[in-house]
Amino acid sequence: MTDINPKIHVLFLPLWYPNKYDPMPGLFIERHARSVKQYCDVSVLYLHPDPEQKRNYLFETNNDDNIYTIRLYYKHTKNNFPGLSQLIKTFQFYKAALKGYIYLCKGKYKPHIVHVNVLTRLGAFALFLKFMYGLPYIITEHWSRYQTRVGTYKGLIRKIITKIVVKRASAVTTVSEDLKKAMLRHNLKNKNYHVIPNVVDTNLFFPSRIKQKNDIKNFIHVSCFDDKPKNISGILRVIKKLSAIRTDFKFTMIGNGPDYENITEYSNLLEIDSKFISFTGLKEGVNLVNAINKADFMLLFSNYENFPVVIPESFSCGIPVISTSVGGIPEHLSSDKGILIEPGNENQLFQTINKLLDNNSNYNSEKLRQYAIDHFSYKVVGKQFFDIYMKVLN
């Protein structure tokens, strides 16, 4: 804890967060919490429905990195009536949320401000806490559903509640300017919008001191292996096309997710030789850093995004990025940091990689890292949130 203001206690309410079933969801939210921890006390209350759970409520608490975290797994009742099922799910969620908040206040202490991550249900709960206990709340939105390409922000009741929740918030932050504009297009108005990007641990994601030169150029892709947004199948088709004309490249595909088996099967169907591609599964921490440092380029070919954290992670390691020009990516990926291409344009991706294989890149690793430190480090991002908290509380 720093000496800036140890009395401020922020409660994070995340829709997604690493849990006992999956360590990957909401890692970017966890990192935001760690950045805030540089300046104030932080607690996290995460709710997870569990239809297989026998007990009504299971509390798991820890104090990792001095962040008091409550993961509340609550029993989710199944039934065959869709309308009734949604009502029951909603009731169970808010009952669990209230139990979790009471548990927090008994076991730790009451927060001064609530930080909602991802709308809408948790925003409605934060609004309830505001009316009941006078707690102000801010919102950080990460979800790409407001973007035209995604189009999943639907439902009259959802839209009405979301507008009320956003309007009543003391501040709203988004991880990109593009997402902010998308929310405003849906008439989600607030007088205090801010753009605060995803954060990266620049002490962990650090360039390798020994950079090996190789005749084989290495490309790395890191994602949650959800093909609809990430378009990994498009990358595979480009790899297959490249392998027909040259052999001086290798792609390392890192991650796990809903389409992992389908993607690996599709690679086999395309008969991509293993010397051109490898699937490693999930990598975290030092293992992920080492993998990024072995690459010449990070590659994303997404159909839609906000601002994926693998981009600042790559910059922090001094690795340039090839990505589609979607979401908030163009706000940070200029020509001195990598290459932007059109979403879905496999021929452009093919031509770009083919050209890179014939030319030495002139990207400055030190400048890439310094950009990450100046824009995405814990200290910088945490200070931006802290300034908002102070303005709200004062």
> Which fold is adopted by the domain 217-374?
Rossmann fold (3.40.50)
Cα-to-chain-centroid distance, residue 252: 21
> What pLDDT, in 10s, does the model give residues 140-162?
999 999 998 898 999 999 999 99
Dmax over Cα atoms in the chain, in whole Å? 67
As a whole-number percent, the residues of the chain with pLDDT over 70 amount to: 96
Work out the average pLDDT over 274-286: 96
Whether the model clears a pTM of 0.75, i.e. scores above it, the answer is yes
Tracing tokens 């809408």 back to the chain, one arrives at 120
How many Å is the Cα radius of gyration of the chain?
A: 22
Run of H or E residues at 159:
helix 156-168
CATH code of the domain made up of 9-199+377-393:
3.40.50.2000
Residue 354 has pLDDT above 60, yes or no: yes
Spatial separation of the C-alpha atoms in residues 147 and 181, rounded to whole Å: 9
pLDDT of residue 4: 46
pLDDT at 177 over 80: yes
**Do the Cβ atoms of 215 and 202 come closer than 8 Å?**
no
Q: Report the residue count for the chain.
A: 394
Give domain limits for the chain.
9-199+377-393, 217-374
Q: What is the pLDDT of residues 362-382, one digit of tens each?
A: 899 999 999 999 999 999 999
pLDDT in the model for residue 247: 97
Higher pLDDT, 5 or 210: 210
Tens-digit pLDDT profile for residues 212-243: 677 899 999 999 999 999 999 999 999 999 99
Render 326-348 in DSSP notation, one character per residue: -TTGGGT--TTTEEEE-TT-HHH
Q: Are 306 and 176 in contact (CB under 8 A)?
A: yes
User: Which DSSP string corresponds to 186-212?
Assistant: TT---S-EEE------TTTS---SS--
Run of H or E residues at 62? strand 57-62
Positive or negative torsion for Cα 139, 144, 149, 150: negative
Burial pattern 57-84, b for ≥16 Cβ within 10 A else e, equals eeeeeeeeeebbbbbbbbbbeeeeeeee
Q: Provide the sign of the torsion angle of the four alpha carbons 269, 271, 273, 276, taken in this order.
A: negative
Kindly state the DSSP code that residue 59 receives in the 8-state scheme: E
